[in-house]
Amino acid sequence: QVQLVESGGGLVQAGGSLRLSCAASGRTFSNYIMGWFRQAPGKEREFVAAISWSSSLRDYADSVKGRFTISRDNAKNTVYLQMNSLKPEDTAIYYCAASRLPILSRSPIQYDAWGQGTQVTVSS
């Protein structure tokens, strides 16, 4: 099982940017599809973005498309989420997750390992 640790969250004003990082250890990182999810208070966990092992495939939720970019560095066992033009509705705990499936998935149940989450707060 791969272990995941997120970092990079914080408080930012609307229109600002943050870059989240997720460091992986344990199993071979490059074998995993990696995803980012978020959960706001009182809401279900929702898909944000996913990336294939080779970075050739990426998927984004409509709500973040054009503002967020997912990337990975397999040599560093790290996946990133660059978040630009942040909005108050982006406020949530952000989680990275790893999946052994061979295809990208937006469903949390398809992911085998999760980090502890990092808080992102966007003020208006």
**pLDDT tens sequence for the chain (124 residues):** 899 999 999 999 999 999 999 999 977 877 899 999 999 999 999 999 999 999 999 999 999 999 999 999 999 999 999 999 999 999 999 999 999 998 999 999 999 999 999 999 999 9
What was the pLDDT predicted at 43? 96
What was the pLDDT predicted at 47? 98
Give the separation between CA 124 and CA 88, rounded to whole angstroms. Answer: 6
Classify residue 81 as exposed, middle or buried by CB count within 10 Å of its CB (0-12, 13-18, 19+): buried
What was the pLDDT predicted at 4? 96
Give the separation between CA 90 and CA 48, rounded to whole angstroms. Answer: 10
What was the pLDDT predicted at 29? 78
Return phi, psi of residue 28, to 5°.
-65, 115
